Copies of this chain bind each other. A is one copy, B any other.
C-alpha cells in the first residue's frame, strides 16, 4: 500500500544547480531523492511546488512523493533529515496525504521573498543570500508604488525568461509589496503561479525605479510592450527565497 507524502523543505540554494535533477551537478531534488532512497530503499521521484533556479533558496518549499514503506511521519522527517546530511537541506515537516495530492498540480498559490541589501559595504554575513545594491539609496516607497502596476492579471511576456515553458504568458500577481527594513529592501510576491524568472525580472525592473532611473509609468510601458527587452535586467538568484505554497 503506497502512501503519498507531503514534505516541507528549507534549503540554501548556493551549492545547487537548482531544484531539478541534472547531470552536471548537485540538485536539491537529487539530494532529497537520494536521502529517501537510503532511508526506504525505494527509488522515488519528488515533485515540488516551484522548481527553483541555481542559487535560489527556500524557506518552505513543498514537495510530494510516493512511498511503499510504511512509517510514521516523524520517522520520515527524521530519517530523511539524517540522510540529507551534510547538504544544506532540511525537512521541516512531513505529512501523509490523500493519494490525489500533488505538490505542483494541487498548488493554489506560491510566495517568494526577494532580499536586497542596499549599502556601500560588501556583504560578509549575507553574501549569496541577498542582492547587494550599493548606491544610491533605493526609494522603496517609489518601488512599491510602481510594483502595484504589476499586480493583477496581465500578459507578463516582458518579464518572462526566453526558456520559459508556460503555455500562456498571462498570470495574476496577487501581491507585490516592497518595504524597507533598515538597510534591507524586501519584495514579497504572491501569485497562483509565476513565469520562469518572473519574480527576478520584476525585481530587476523595480530596482530601476528605486534608483530614480524609471517611473511607475515606465513600468506600465514595459508591461504593455510584451517584449522581454522592454523591461529591466534579471535580478541575481542570491536574493530569492521560495517562502511557501498554498493548497
**A155-167 near B? 1/0 per residue, CB < 8 Å:** 0000000000000
A89 vs B124: C-alpha distance when bound (angstroms): 5
From B59, B120, B124, contact of A125 by CB (8 A): B59
From B57, B90, B92, B124, contact of A90 by CB (8 A): B124
Copies of the protein in its oligomer:
2
Tell yes or no: A177 within 8 A of B by CB.
Answer: no
A152 — which chain B residues lie within 8 A by C-beta? Answer: none
From B92, B122, B129, contact of A121 by CB (8 A): B92
A11 vs B127: C-alpha distance when bound (angstroms): 11
Closest Cβ of chain B to A77, distance in Å, is 7
Tell yes or no: A119 within 8 A of B by CB.
Answer: yes
A91 vs B93: C-alpha distance when bound (angstroms): 39
A92 near B77 (CB under 8 angstroms)? no
B92 near A125 (CB under 8 angstroms)? no
Tell yes or no: A99 within 8 A of B by CB.
Answer: no
A120 near B57 (CB under 8 angstroms)? no
Instruction: Give residues of chain A (75-126) contacting chain B, Cβ–Cβ below 8 Å.
Output: 77-78, 81, 84-85, 88-93, 119-125
A33 — which chain B residues lie within 8 A by C-beta? Answer: none
A85 — which chain B residues lie within 8 A by C-beta? Answer: 122
A129 — which chain B residues lie within 8 A by C-beta? Answer: 125
From B77, B81, B92, B124, contact of A88 by CB (8 A): B124
From B10, B91, B121, contact of A81 by CB (8 A): B121
A residues near B, CB below 8 A?
9-12, 57, 59, 77-78, 81, 84-85, 88-93, 119-125, 127, 129
Minimum-distance CB pairs A-B, first 6: A90-B124, A10-B124, A88-B124, A90-B121, A90-B122, A92-B121
